[in-house]
Structure 1
Amino acid sequence: MTTLGAVFRPQNAPERLRSVALAADSAGLEQLWLWEDCFLESGIASAAAALAWTERLHVGVGLLPVPLRNVALTAMESATLHRLFPGRVTLAVGHGVQDWMEQVGARAESPLTLLREHLGALRGLLGGESVTVDGRYVRLDGVALDYPPHGPAPVLSGATGPRTLRLSGEASDGTVLVAGTGPDGVRRARTLVDEGRAAAARTDHHPLVVYLLAATGPDAAERVRAELATKKGGDGFGVAGDAAAVAEAVRRLAEAGADSVILEPTPDEPDTEAFVRFTAEEVRPLVLS
């Protein structure tokens, strides 16, 4: 069964998060996803607050840019969330936007190498291992967490290009695909992820999380078109309309192989609280029918 969620975009001021998280929790939304975009809001701090304010809501962060983060710090923060809120956290890491990484002096010459090293070390640390790495970018000397997660703590990876998708299949526990990715893009991604999994002899389930740009209301189509025009990657896939139209788009992505579809509002969404309630109360029943 496909999981349905929504995004709290960091274009919203941080003080807006509480009311959106509470609206999502009370409406029965399955997942609320946050972003760590430069130079807007912290993914970890926002996730901790949203989890503390709510009772049932599952919170995802997609994604944490690895050039900004020492892997030991990412592991400590991730483990803390998993210990405080077991079963309610999903974290994804990725390259980050390269222009932003350049702007803060953190751009890697080989983003793929950095991501590979970060994923291996992070998964090891969260698995309770003592990790020693002498890589090109990641260097750890007998590092182990005193408080690793009690149970599984999957690490997802954001990916778009073929090499990163293969790496995600090989070295992560799931893949996050950008908004604009249509059914054909989901199928292509699944093929490339599976190539990586086969190369690493992995047989575990590898979920695909897909952001779906969505809007409802009288100006929905115009808002979706404008936002899709700014997207890099993807297939130009989005949806504007009522709950039935959005549910149909969700079903198409699910049939193509998406395990989770996360509705992404446009940056000018006038009422984010209403958007999460629309997702949970109007779209979800139609997806289930």
Structure 2
Amino acid sequence: MANDHRLGILLISTTPPERLPELARLCEELGFDEIWLAEDYFFYGGFTGVGQALAATERIRVGLGVVSCVARHPAVAAMEIASLGRAFPGRFLSGIGHGVPAWVQQMGLAPRSPMRALEEAVTAIRTLLTTREPQTSEGTYFTLRDVALFHPPLANVPLYLGVIGEKGCELAGRIADGNVLSVLAPTEYVSWARSLGLRGMSQAGRSGSFSVPTFVLTAVDHDRARARTAVRQSLAFYLNAVGPTPLTGVIGINDMVAELIAAGGYEALLDGMPDDWVDVLAISGTPDEAAARIEQYWAAGADSVILSPQPAESAESQLKLIAGDVLPRLNR
């Protein structure tokens, strides 16, 4: 598959950590290009999970999307990133974000200005990864005093943000190599976020490529109705959890999302969401339909489409079905 048209799998947070190595090996054996893990609090540790997946495989790239910028001091995050980058050169992709507000608040770490905290953290991480001289800086949220990595990476480790708003997407272009896009992102949002990232790059005088790996809720089945039912349930869960956001605002459904949440949350969303929401917010249906939808995401600018198989209890069967019946249908 072309380097700018990759297909990956998200190993969701409910996956028991002891199963990550076998699932990572399966993804590699089936021919996927990437594996992504998310550090959702308080499931499995993101860096630990990535290390397990990398150690269990030989060629596949493994991404972390994303770790909260306030859950670890940037010097500690840089140390973790550098260690994985050295141990598995060219295979680790690291994402940094705000973190889900509710989880961050549970730890008493919510910053007054999440955007400033994120920019400070990522700037410090990149500096430590690329500079061998000890660094001293005093920021609003993070302090470095003569900090240098003893084992810096031997090659570049891509740093992505994981943000959804206009300012965040522009910031990704200014300070990062890309932006990891959340589930619920329609193709319209992918194009919008990528254009903002490129604008941020231009503002910062940066050149090169800008990556937008995109997580997408996915269910594939020769029984079209069964696949759409599985995705519909997941969409209702996520829409109820996050509410109206720029992800759904870009296609003009935020008012209806808010109305359904107010009318009864998950159940109201499950019963009341229009069928076309399944079409635009997910990948679902037959292998032919799934392949066509993946190519739409690529065409919108998602260089890497990261499938999140639904339902979770049939992850292996979904992986095998996608590899056997969807991959051969894609234009490579």
Query: TM-score, normalised on structure 2?
Result: 0.83
Q: CA contact under 8 A between 1:184 and 1:256: conserved in structure 2?
A: yes
Question: Aligned-pair distance for 1:66?
Answer: 0.9
Q: CA contact under 8 A between 1:35 and 1:63: conserved in structure 2?
A: yes
Q: Which residue of 2 aligns with 1:277?
A: 320
The one of 212, 218, 223 aligned to 1:214: 218
Corresponding position: 1:159 with 2:166: no
Q: Which residue of 2 aligns with 1:259?
A: 303
Q: Percent identical across equivalent pairs?
A: 34
Question: Aligned-pair distance for 1:150?
Answer: 0.7
Quick check: 271-280 or 251-260, which moved more? 271-280
The change in CA–CA distance for 1:76 and 1:240 in structure 2 (over 3 A counts) is same
Which aligned runs of 4 or more in structure 1 are off by greater than 4 angstroms?
A: none
CA shift digits 1:240-263 (9 cap, x unpaired): 112221111111111111111100
Q: d(CA) in 2 for partners of 1:129 and 1:199? A: 27
Q: CA contact under 8 A between 2:309 and 2:319: conserved in structure 1?
A: no
One-letter amino acid matched to 1:139: T
Q: Which residue of 2 aligns with 1:21?
A: 24
Q: Name the SS of the counterpart of 1:153 in structure 2.
A: coil
Q: Which residue of 2 aligns with 1:95?
A: 98
Q: d(CA) in 1 for partners of 2:68 and 2:108? A: 13
Give the superposed CA RMSD: 1.5
Q: Name the SS of the counterpart of 2:93 in structure 1.
A: strand
Q: CA contact under 8 A between 2:178 and 2:197: conserved in structure 1?
A: no
Q: Name the SS of the counterpart of 1:115 in structure 2.
A: helix
One-letter amino acid matched to 1:11: T
Q: d(CA) in 1 for partners of 2:233 and 2:176? A: 33
Q: Which residue of 1 aligns with 2:146?
A: 142
Q: d(CA) in 2 for partners of 1:113 and 1:35? A: 22
Higher RCO (CA < 8 A, seq sep 6+): 1
CA shift digits 1:109-158 (9 cap, x unpaired): 11000000011111111113433221101111221111111111111000
Q: d(CA) in 1 for partners of 2:141 and 2:323? A: 42
Query: TM-score, normalised on structure 1?
Result: 0.95
Question: Aligned-pair distance for 1:216?
Answer: 1.8
- Structure with higher Rg: it is 2
The one of 169, 172, 177 aligned to 1:173: 177
Paired residues in the alignment total 288
The change in CA–CA distance for 1:281 and 1:56 in structure 2 (over 3 A counts) is farther
Q: d(CA) in 1 for partners of 2:109 and 2:220? A: 38
More helix as a share of residues = 2
Q: d(CA) in 1 for partners of 2:23 and 2:286? A: 21
CA shift digits 1:184-237 (9 cap, x unpaired): 111111221122112111112111111111102342211211211223342351
Q: d(CA) in 2 for partners of 1:64 and 1:192? A: 22
Q: Name the SS of the counterpart of 1:271 in structure 2.
A: helix
Unaligned ranges ≥5, structure 1: none
Q: Which residue of 1 aligns with 2:79?
A: 76
Corresponding position: 1:248 with 2:299: no
One-letter amino acid matched to 2:209: H
